[in-house]
Structure 1
Amino acid sequence: MSRVTIHDVAAAAAVSIKTVSRVINREPNVRPAVQTRVEAAIRKLGYVPNRAARSLAGARSFVIGAIFDNPNPHYIIAVQRGAMATCRQSGYHLAIEEVNTAKNAAAQMRAMLATARLDGVILSPPVTDCAAVLDALDAKNIPYVRLMPATAKGRSPVIVSDDAAAASQAARHLWDLGHRRIAVIAGPDGHSASALRLAGFRHGIAAAGGDAHQVRVVKGDFTFRSGLAAGHTLLAEKNHPTAIFASNDDMAAGIYSAAAQLGLRIPDDVSVVGYDDSPVAELVWPPLTTVRQPVAEMAAEAARLLIEGRGSDAPHTFELPYKMIMRGSTGAEPRKGR
């Protein structure tokens, strides 16, 4: 079967080749009805634009970058999945780059940008708050969209989900089940989500009538191993917490392992709530009650803004909704003597 060409798309949509090119390149002055017709023809025929030829024809590279520094593989996979889906629909490619924000991020960015030609960049936490990364992109006039930033929100369009409100809802859920000995496994200090989720959880306890200062807090780093260690610290105590909120699902899975090693049952002896609704939430038993963070959707929206040339727009915040996912890891506070 011969390869579908731009001529085939133009014929199917009853437009000129130039009009097809304008639609593909997201150029202005294309009537919505015509754009819809061309996009329908592209989908029907399975047309894939030749990126090399398009790059020669204009200033665009048709490559969107996604830069990360995150120990949670599930989060990064979700970012890639969302951004890649949008890029593919628009004939773009996605380039994945890692920057260690703790080790001379400025030098890493200079080396990366010396060889990479990017039309825009998606920044995920904690890179999203790294001034050296933002300065490097600004110096090259590369537009960027940031996911969940905590600082300098006026520097770019940002996409958020309300971490604090979500954690507050998780706290209220545990409180309403009767739990009063409650603990939190927080994330690392350098990650904005850690502080937001901890503050939100404490607010939820206070709003329910509890004492937020009585919530036990143990630090983790968003990894299974840190959740396992924190779980042992908390659950080995005689009067251990009857409920634990983990700031991500990987750490929640670590609590499961610690509970099993200590002979405790979930949720009979301890209830557990996670955050993210990553694949691990349905791999553990019982399935994990957690907060679904729309990571893939946020990345897809970021890619869309960049492809449409809106990464350099006046700063604007786009908020996407979270959702509490009730599964089998939470239950009523254990009866005394159990």
Structure 2
Amino acid sequence: MPRRKSEANPAGSNPLPVDAPARRTGATIHDVARHLGVSSMTVSRVVNDLEGVRPQMRERVLAAIKELGYVPNMAARAARAGVSRIGVLFSNPRSSNLGEFLMGAFTAGGKLGCQLVVEPTAAHADPLDAVRTVIAAGVDAVILPPPLCDSMQALELLWRAQVQGLSFATAEPRSHSSAVFIDDFEGARCMTRHLIDLGHRDIAFVLGDPSHSPSRRREEGFRAAMAEAGLVVPAERLVQGMFTYRSGMEVGNALLAGDSAARPTAIFASNDDMAAGIVALALGLGLKIPAELSVAGFDDTPIAESIWPALTTIHQPIAEMAASAVTLAHELVKRGRNGGAPEVTHHRCKFSLVVRGSTGAAAGSATNRPRRSPRATVP
């Protein structure tokens, strides 16, 4: 696997744990054949539902398969056919960008002839169990979503099982594993500059789930743009959210429900779900958006255009990124099967600023600064 010895087991450190899950090693097709006293070809025909086996023999083979606990080796079957089996994990079934993510993955998988094994991490008490599940299913590669994309434990599980790992939407791509991502720092800085260009000086920022690396990088981008403009960010203008609609409503209430003189003129939430919650709360308080309050999000998920007013946001091309991740994983698998050493690849996609109705000039400002393009693409 693509790792440097110094990174995987640096001098003086403990070796990797030895309790890693191995691929399934139960009964084989030959064990079933020997148990029945028939040829392996007969068992293979039954397993693959082919003709040429008498009904009575088919029933005996199926009974023996169940008795011995034989599980067809899907990985070996796919390898013989030249097919890549790619595990696709997703962490938040309620995320508004899940549909785009899966559509991008399915589209690329269909074009390449890959078999996608989709597994929700939310179905497991420990997200690492989702990784173990797809490893046991015989996948050749796994696409890891946030926050698993930044988990060394997840990557170690894959290394030990000799399965390719690819980090999706990480903000901190690692030198020893491939990744598909955008520049979250520059995206947040671009959005903050947009708000500053509109005359906003009192801008609140809503952080996302601290276990997600994009949350940290987006905060850094916001802080950088504010510092570049010579603006101080008071501690009370940095509030913690969790990337959910409900957390957006909660922080919106904390920022807006008090004295009107203490309200910020703009709120930049580090994802669209939280921004949508803030918009709902603000409208419930009778605030006019954007005349009295500008609200911006990040990701450009479907909810950004579903609410009113529609959200100004940073477009993250989730479908394109998912397709790129499947394509890259497929290429890594093919290279490994051909005897080549897997190459670490970092594929950075472009983001763009999308200006909609939720942001406008700060009340009382008379800025003459030019407004940015409604959709400015940034590499």
TM-score interval (norm. to shorter) = 0.7 to 0.9
What is the identity, as a one-letter code, of the residue corresponding to 1:289? T
More displaced 10-residue stretch of structure 1: 89-98 or 78-87: 89-98
Aligned partner of 1:319 among 338, 348, 355 = 348
Residues 101 and 127, structure 1, Cα contact 8 Å, conserved in 2:
no
Gapped runs of 5+ residues in structure 2?
1-73, 366-379
Is 1:85 matched with 2:136? no
Counterparts of 2:324 and 2:253, CA distance in 1 = 39
Q: Which residues in structure 2 correspond to 1:221-260 (within 5 Å)?
A: 221-238=242-259, 239-260=262-283
- C-alpha displacement at 1:80, in angstroms? 1.1
1:298 — aligned with what? 321
More displaced 10-residue stretch of structure 1: 255-264 or 90-99: 90-99
Is 1:113 matched with 2:135? yes
Structure 1 ranges of 4+ moved more than 6 A: none
2:145 — aligned with what? 124
Larger radius of gyration: 2
2:116 — aligned with what? 94
CA RMSD of aligned residues (A): 2.5
SS in 2 for 1:171: helix
1:192 — aligned with what? 213
Aligned length: 284
Counterparts of 1:102 and 1:113, CA distance in 2 = 15
- C-alpha displacement at 1:169, in angstroms? 0.8
Is 1:162 matched with 2:183? yes
Change (3 A) 1:267 1:106: closer
Aligned partner of 1:330 among 356, 359, 364 = 359
- C-alpha displacement at 1:138, in angstroms? 1.1
What is the identity, as a one-letter code, of the residue corresponding to 2:226? I
What is the identity, as a one-letter code, of the residue corresponding to 1:302? A
- C-alpha displacement at 1:131, in angstroms? 1.9
- C-alpha displacement at 1:70, in angstroms? 3.2
Residues 160 and 298, structure 1, Cα contact 8 Å, conserved in 2:
yes
Is 1:145 matched with 2:166? yes
SS in 2 for 1:291: strand
More displaced 10-residue stretch of structure 1: 57-66 or 261-270: 57-66
SS in 2 for 1:172: helix
Counterparts of 1:331 and 1:57, CA distance in 2 = 55
CA deviations on 1:271-317 (whole Å, 9 max, x unpaired) are 01100101111111111100001222111111111222358632232
Gapped runs of 5+ residues in structure 1?
1-51
TM, length-normalised to structure 2: 0.69
Change (3 A) 1:100 1:310: farther
What is the identity, as a one-letter code, of the residue corresponding to 2:310? P
SS in 2 for 1:269: coil
